[in-house]
Each structure stands twice: as structure tokens, then as C-alpha cells.
Structure 1
């Protein structure tokens, strides 16, 4: 079951027109898995819904959102050891789907959709296989205004910083668990120096260097090494390429990194990152990122940084 509350953007911000006046919404999602090991989950997701096709009577939209989920019966070594999928009550969630809405009355639309819901705690607690739920949707939409008409004329002005360079200096912390048996939470830290350029109204591109210090690798190394003499360094350094899809102060961040300093090869030579970044001021920003190695979550990063214009 899902309940949505959506607000139509109206052109009051320039990016509204750049994305063809998307909707911004909040979804409350309930799943009953009909399985005593998983039981039930509740989630709250904020999302943006972009129109791919729109007429006065019908529309096709693509939705992308993220939020927090609560599971009623997570993994417990003594009482629920079979639940290798969800190990913590709180999890991050991602939601993406295609929706087709056709008018059946003046303010009412019939909704059908196909989507994917993902739940994971980002390896903060293990085991963490996570859940992927391909889902077919059937529902009813109430539209306060249909057909949609922008209330603020679209601005033809281009952002003044297109073509300008900038530098981002940031640091992050995260926590991860090695295994279901080792219940300790290990601190993971990173620092990054990235240079970037705004190449269009919607996009920044970035390139730079990152360094990582994952304390869980020290414990892992000591458990697996034959001797504790002259253990390899667990610190890592990488070169990273990135892109930011801009929605005003908010950005959807995607990174691809390659380790060039990696004495203790605990993972593959590259990593991916997906996250949300928000500029509190023109200089100060924060972000929540998920760092991944070959599709497996490595750590959930909480980041703070500064932007310096060239």
C-alpha cells in the first residue's frame, strides 16, 4: 500500500522549466511480506517525478526518490538468525518507477505503474543482502489542477556560472560492521579534493583525488594474516571522476573512482558512489553518499564540504 502527496512545480525556480515542471512528492509505503522472517516494513520517501509525455488527459512520468524505512523483524543472532537480508530496523530506501496516468473524471486519474523499490543499510550492520522489489502499481490520483498550466513564465536567462571552474574540499565519516558475529561498528573516514566545471544548466563535471581510512580493514587484516609483523597499509587513495545533476541547491551525485594506492587489496580496484548533495549556502554543502564495490555496499558516507570558485 502507498499514499502519495505531490506538489506541482510552477516555474518559481529556473530549474522547474529546465526539467519540464516536475512534481515533488512524499510517499508513505507499507509492505507486508507474508513471511515470518521478514514480517513488515514502513517507509517514507521523498521524490521527484519528471514528465516524459503529457497531454490534457494523460501523462507518462518517471519517478526517482530516496528515504528511510523501518523493518519490524530484523536479523538477530539468537531470535531471528534466518534473516540474512535485513539486519537493522532502520534502512535507506530508493524508489524508481514509470507511471501512466489517464483521466477518468475532471480531477481524477487512473494510475498504472512499473517500478523497483530497494532497501539497504549500506553495510552499517551485517548481514546486509538488502531487498529489491520489482512492483506493479494500480491506483487513483486526485489532481487539484488538470490540465497543468505554469503560473510563472519560464525564464530564458542562462545561469551566470556556466563555463566557470570551482574546487570542492570535503571530508566524510561512516560506520560499518565486519560480520554478523563481530558486532563492533568501525569508523570509516575520507577526504577529497575535486575540481569541477559547470558545463550546462543541469550539469557539473568533476575530477580529483580521494583518500580513505577504513578501520574495519585493520581488524580484518589481523584476523587473516599469518603474522602481525609488517602488515600492509590499509589506507587507500584514488582518482575520481564525477557528475552532478542539478536541481537548484540539490544535486544527484554519481562518481566512479579508481584506486592507485591500495597496498591491502581487500576489494576490486574501482568503486562507484551515488548520493544527494545540498548547498546550504553558496560555499557550504553537505551530502549523503553510498559507496559501492561491484554492486555491494561498502559504506554510507555523511559528508561536509566547502566550495571555492575559481
Structure 2
């Protein structure tokens, strides 16, 4: 009797031991991550006659990145089709002594455009910082009209195709655009625009991707409601290559908005600007026998915010209504990142642009009412 009982328990143990790996294999890992390594080739767009002498060589580079696959831990994950949050480390050799090399680090979101068990197409958008070994110097490197400061902002965009080679290993090919600029804080600042071709490998901890099994998140409480934003910004800019002083730029903004859906806010507002570098510019060019026009400006804008939880990617198109000193076109653009510290307090980093040329990098603080 004892032997039969022991045999039964032993048999149950063998069956459980055989099933245990299958159960473990079916469980979702604590985190779904992707680790990637890519080679990159690029060319530089000659967007101005002042940079044609710098676009003869083709930069080559290398990228390492780590991505966290969202699975529905936050309400905004599902409505954006479970994007990945990534960190990228970049190295480029420009194969010219004028530009030298660059080292960059950026964070980004990679949004799925199409996904099957073995293939996927993603679009990534992000930003960070880039460090150049060579920058503009009036005496030692005056030909480098691309980069006037070693530290620059970095914008990353890319479309990627990933196909499974094994259960975990994927082959990635991509086409992207990298942009480096210091936002006109130092000049000359024509900026580098580099279309890139990417080829490399991804290692997936979970493939195919499986979101968390949970009910859909309820609609946001502010959906369809109106709100008011009050904010102010500060920025610094250099006027030109010969005047190396930094001039203060301020703005004040009043904007009304509406939450359209889970992903979007629509904004319309008015704002005023005071750019002190324009005052210095007028003193250099105006006739002494005439009064100087007012350099302050005021305008209206229409804006959109793409929401990712507390983070928002904002785009504005504005038109000057009050512009006595016409130092630029009658319209302006702004792109930026906004972060909500609380339900009523937010901060933002914005780049104000005139016809594709950076005007000023703005640090913004505001309140939502």
C-alpha cells in the first residue's frame, strides 16, 4: 500500500514538473524590453549656400538603444497602441576636420503603425542632447557655420521595419532624420539636418507582444471641457557672429483650450513678445535722426497638443498682429514638449521658429485653470 501511494505521488510530481516549464513559458515577463544595436549611414542636407562646403563627406555612425514596451500600465498606453519608450546613444563621424565627431543621447517614443507576430513597422519621435568635438571659432574653425556651440539640442525621427529572424532576434531597417541645433543661443546656427539609413539587430524579451489583460480605462474626466492656460517664458539668444552677447527674450501667453479626445487638446490664444536683441539690431542700422520703432510684438496662434499622460508634444502656428519693427515674416511656428507637474501647474521647453530657422529656445512655466 505504501509503495502504491509513493508511486502515485511520484507520478504526480513528474507530471507537475513537466507542466511547470510550460506554465512559466506562458507567463508574461515583469518587463517587456528591446535592446538594439544599429549601424548608420547619412548625408547632410545643403539647406543654405553657406553650408555647401561642408556636405561633401557622408557621415557614418553607430547607435545603441534600450526600449521599454508599454503594455497598458497607464491609461494612455492603449489609445496610442502601446508605444515603446526608448533611450538611444548615438555616435557619428562626419569625416571632415571642420565638423569632427558627435556624441548624442536622446529619449523617444516609438509608435506602432503595423504589427504582426513576426513583423512590425514603427515610427519614433524623440529628442535629447548632442556634443560636437568641433564648433565654430572665428579664428580656428570659421568654416563651421553648421555648429556654433559644442552642446546642441537633438531631434530624432525615424520609420523602422523589424522582422523576426528567431523567436527573440529581429533584423531592423530604418529611414530617419536627425537634426542638431542650439536654438539660436549662439550663432552662426544653421543646424545640421541628416537623413539616415539604419540597419541593425534587435533582441526582444517578449515576442509576439502581449498587452496586459485588463478592462479599457474610463474616459478622462476633462474630456470635452474647456480650460484656460496662463504662462510666461524666458530665453536667451545671440544676435550674430560678431556680437557675442546674450540677449534676454520674454513672452506672455493666454490660451483657451478644449480636450477633444483621449489624445488631443486644441488651443487658441494671444501672446506678446519682447526680444531685446532686436533693440540692439536697430541701434546698429537705424538713422540717428529718426525715432526707433517699438520692437515688442503681439500675435494670435492656433495650437495642438498630442497627449501622452502627463507629457504633451505641442505645435503652434501664430500670426503677428502688432509688429512695428518687421524683422521677420508675419507668421511664426513653435514646437515643444510640455509636462504637467500637477493638474494646475506645467512647464515646457519650446523652440520658436521663423520659416524653418530657429529664433529662440524658450523655457516656459504656466498654470492651467
Contact 1:14–1:154 at 8 Å: present in 2 too?
no
TM-score by length of 1: 0.98
Question: 2:225 matched to which residue of 1?
Answer: 164
SS of 1:34's equivalent in the other structure is coil
Q: Which has the larger radius of gyration?
A: 2
Backbone CA RMSD of aligned residues: 0.8
Does 1:70 find its partner at 2:131?
Answer: yes
Q: Structure 2 matches for 1:12-161, cutoff 5 A?
A: 12-161=73-222
Residue 152 (structure 1) shift: 4.4
Residue 78 (structure 1) shift: 1.2
More helix by share: 2
Question: 2:248 matched to which residue of 1?
Answer: 187
Can you give the 5+ residue segments of structure 1 that lack an aligned partner in the other structure?
A: none
Distance between the aligned counterparts of 1:75 and 1:182, measured in 2?
14
Q: Structure 1 residues 10, 153: closer, same or farther in 2, change over 3 A?
A: same
Residue 302 (structure 1) shift: 0.4
Question: 1:274 matched to which residue of 2?
Answer: 335
SS of 1:128's equivalent in the other structure is coil
Can you give the 5+ residue segments of structure 2 that lack an aligned partner in the other structure?
A: 1-61
Residue 156 (structure 1) shift: 4.5
Distance between the aligned counterparts of 1:48 and 1:219, measured in 2?
41
Deviation per CA, 1:151-186, whole angstroms, max 9, x where unpaired?
242515211111111100000000110111110010
SS of 1:159's equivalent in the other structure is coil
Question: 1:297 matched to which residue of 2?
Answer: 358
**Moved beyond 3 Å, runs of 4+:** none
Q: Structure 2 matches for 1:2-13, cutoff 5 A?
A: 2-13=63-74
Does 1:260 find its partner at 2:321?
Answer: yes
More strand by share: 1
State how many pairs are aligned: 308
